[in-house]
């Protein structure tokens, strides 16, 4: 019952938030990593280098898929911005269904940029089906394909250290976020501007994916405060009850 | 076509979601049916994904790109193991040997490299940015390693207290992060169910 109530509340807040955001667009707080990404994407297009987007290995049939879906929203906007570059973006993933979705998303980006004829299916790749085979298949992309910006967004595990290490050796920009705690600590140690926790889900909003993504951030903030209040009240009640 | 895909995806999402909250037999049956279809489609996507993997490596070989030979080895190994697996089944001795003698040791080696890579990344953290959080991160990591480190004289004095203290902080932090991720997951799911995000048909 509580879960259903929370779901309905979230849905109502989201719909209301979308409506309000469309009427009254607001500013987002500054997240250094996303600012760096926006700069790096522009530079990649100008310098004729490549953007590499890695979606991790989040299976879409589990809750781990949500981080990949958030990353796909960002990919859709970035592919639109970089599709006319001399070197089109490459997307790698460690899950087959995710690889197919990445191809579809890339194609949508090309279509939106009126460059669908330039889309190549080989730019959306499945690089491996186990964590380390995925890392082993992705490392050559970061190393050999003139990549200047690496975006690692999605579900990663400890194997992400191999990816960031390889990207760093090439002196490329690293933007990284994961829904996994161990990968978050690795990204904290190995990227210039780490993205922590739910900042991963803000990806779409910071690349202009629309009012729905911005409204999601507002609803996330409201729900976070509600959770904090519930924890504090619960602790207080327990304390009072124990006295 | 795109509208049809959106309607179908939204309806399927709502049926599965309602099936969780209202266990009416008709809804439950529909939910199980849709979930089974999703699993079958998921299995088929693996084959499509493998085709994509082969196609990318064949392209590398055809255009004589750097390290194309590795691509050749990959394609050849894949054909051989796939063929053997189809004919003799996954429990065949050859299939088990391929797993135990090739895949497991290779992944274990990568795990070993990972340990070195992580230490190296931690050392370089100070070169990248020097702030309070980075110092705390490294101090906590080093203290925790010391606390769990085996020594010739047995456990270090105070190791349990240190582990408990650091564990308390890290558990609290991890729960906070996981709560944030859960909220993000909830909202991402709702955006897909509302058809705002349509990763399946392009938007």
pLDDT tens per residue, range A117-159: 888 888 999 998 889 899 999 999 999 888 999 999 999 998 8
Best probe of the B interface among A22, A121, A126, by most B CBs < 10 A, is A126
What DSSP assignment string belongs to B129-191? --SHHHHHHHHHHHHHHHHH---TT-SPTTHHHHHHHHHHHHHHHHHHHHHHHHHHHHHHHHH
pLDDT tens digits in sequence order for chain B, 203 residues long? 778 888 888 888 888 888 888 888 888 899 999 999 999 998 899 999 999 999 999 988 998 888 889 889 999 999 998 898 889 888 888 888 888 888 888 888 888 888 788 877 887 887 777 888 888 888 888 888 888 887 887 777 777 888 888 888 888 888 999 999 999 999 999 998 888 888 776 55
User: Mean of the pLDDT values across residues A37-51?
Assistant: 90
For A85-210, where are the alpha helices, taking DSSP H only?
A: 96-112, 131-144, 160-169, 181-190, 203-206
- Asked if A9 contacts A222 with a C-beta cutoff of 8 angstroms, the reply is no
**Structure ipTM:** 0.89
- Min Cα distance A25 → chain B (Å) is 18
* Cα A217 → chain centroid: 14
> Please, are residues B200 and B11 in contact by the beta-carbon 8 Å criterion?
no
Using CA atoms, how far residue A214 sits from A21, A235, B142, B192, in Å, is: 7, 32, 39, 15
- Whether residue A24 has pLDDT greater than 60: yes
Q: Is the pLDDT of residue A219 over 80?
A: yes
Contact B197 A72 (CB under 8 A): yes
Which of A143, A146, A113 is closest to A44 using CA atoms?
A146
Distance (Å) from the C-alpha of residue A198 to the closest C-alpha of chain B?
Answer: 5
- The answer to whether the Cα torsion of B80, B86, B87, B89 is positive or negative is positive
Q: Which of A190, A195, A204, A235 to mutate to test the interface with B (most CBs of B within 10 A)?
A: A190
Q: State which H helix or E strand residue A92 sits in.
A: strand A90-93
- Is A63 in the B-facing interface, judged by CB distances under 8 Å? yes
Give the separation between CA B32 and CA B26, rounded to whole angstroms.
Answer: 10
> Distance between CA B134 and CA A129 in Å, rounded?
33
Q: Which residues, including other chains, have CB under 8 Å from residue A121's CB and lie 6 or more apart?
A: A103, B52, B55
**A122, A137, A216: residue with CB nearest B187:** A216
> Which neighbouring-strand residues pair with A53?
A91, A151
What residue in B sits closest to A166 (Cα-Cα)?
A: B117
Place of tokens 């100070």: B126
Strand A124-126 relative to strand A90-93, pairing: parallel
- pLDDT at residue A243 in the model: 66
DSSP string, B150-166: --TT-SPTTHHHHHHHH
A237 lies within 8 A of chain B by CB: no
In total, the C-beta contacts within 8 angstroms joining chain A to chain B are: 185
| Closest CB from B46, B180, B192 relative to A198 | B180
- Which DSSP letter does residue A175 get? E
For residues B143 and B170, is the Cβ–Cβ distance under 8 A?
no
- Nearest CB partner across the interface for A107, out of B17, B21, B202: B202
- Return the axis-axis angle of helices A32-47 and A65-82, rounded to nearest 10°: 40
Touching check for B188 and chain A: CB below 8 Å? yes
Instruction: Give CA–CA dist B78/B131, Å, rounded.
Output: 48
Instruction: Print burial letters for A14-36: b (CB count within 10 Å at least 16), e (below 16).
Output: bbebbeebeeeeeeeeebebbeb
Cβ atoms of residues B197 and B191 within 8 Å: yes
A242 pLDDT more than 80: no
Strands A147-155, A173-178: pairing is parallel
Q: What is the rounded CA–CA span in Å between residue A5 and residue B15?
A: 17
B-chain CB neighbours of A111 within 8 Å are 202
Q: Check CB contact under 8 Å for A96 and B197.
A: no
Q: Residues B12, B40: contact at Cβ < 8 Å? A: no
Please state the rounded mean pLDDT for residues A194-212. Answer: 88
Residue A28 above 90 pLDDT?
no
The mean per-residue pLDDT over the stretch A99-105 comes to 92
């Amino acid at each position: 019952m509580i879960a259903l109530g929370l779901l309905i509340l979230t849905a109502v807040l989201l719909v209301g938030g979308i409506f309000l955001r469309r009427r009254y667009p607001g500013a987002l707080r500054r997240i250094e990593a996303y600012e760096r990404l926006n700069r790096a994407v522009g530079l990649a297009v100008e310098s004729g280098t490549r953007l590499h987007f890695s979606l991790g290995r989040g299976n879409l049939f589990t809750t781990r898929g949500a981080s990949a879906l958030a990353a796909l929203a960002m990919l859709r906007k970035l592919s639109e911005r970089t599709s006319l570059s001399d070197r089109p973006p490459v997307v790698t993933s460690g899950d087959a269904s995710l690889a197919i979705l990445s191809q579809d998303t890339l194609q949508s980006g090309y279509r939106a940029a009126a460059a669908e004829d330039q889309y190549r299916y080989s730019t959306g790749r499945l690089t491996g089906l186990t964590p380390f085979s995925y890392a082993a298949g992705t490392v050559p992309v970061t190393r050999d394909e003139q990549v200047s910006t690496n975006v690692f967004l999605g579900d990663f595990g400890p194997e992400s250290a191999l990816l960031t290490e390889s990207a760093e050796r090439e002196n490329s920009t690293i933007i990284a976020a994961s829904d996994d705690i161990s990968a978050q600590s690795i990204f904290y140690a190995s990227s210039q501007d780490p993205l922590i926790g739910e900042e991963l889900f803000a990806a779409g909003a910071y690349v202009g994916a629309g009012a729905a993504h911005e409204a999601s951030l507002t609803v996330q903030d409201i729900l976070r405060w509600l959770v904090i209040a519930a924890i504090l009240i619960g602790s207080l009640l327990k304390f009072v009850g124990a006295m | 076509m795109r509208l049809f895909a959106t309607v179908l995806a939204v309806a399927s999402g709502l049926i599965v979601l309602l099936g969780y909250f209202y266990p009416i037999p008709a809804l439950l049956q529909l939910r199980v049916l849709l979930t089974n279809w999703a699993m079958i489609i998921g299995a088929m996507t693996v084959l499509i994904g493998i085709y994509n993997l082969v196609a990318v490596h064949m392209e590398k070989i055809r255009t004589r790109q750097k390290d194309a030979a590795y691509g050749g080895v990959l394609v050849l190994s894949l054909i051989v193991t796939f063929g053997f697996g189809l004919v003799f089944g996954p429990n065949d001795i050859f299939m088990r040997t391929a797993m135990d003698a090739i895949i497991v040791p290779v992944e274990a080696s990568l795990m070993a490299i990972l340990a070195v890579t992580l230490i190296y990344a931690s050392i370089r953290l100070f070169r990248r940015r020097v702030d309070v959080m980075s110092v705390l991160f490294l101090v906590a990591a080093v203290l925790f390693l010391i606390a769990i480190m085996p020594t010739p004289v047995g456990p270090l004095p105070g190791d349990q207290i240190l582990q408990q203290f650091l564990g308390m902080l890290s558990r609290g932090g991890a729960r906070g992060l996981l709560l944030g991720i859960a909220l993000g997951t909830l909202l991402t799911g709702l955006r897909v169910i509302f058809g705002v995000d349509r990763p399946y048909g392009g938007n």
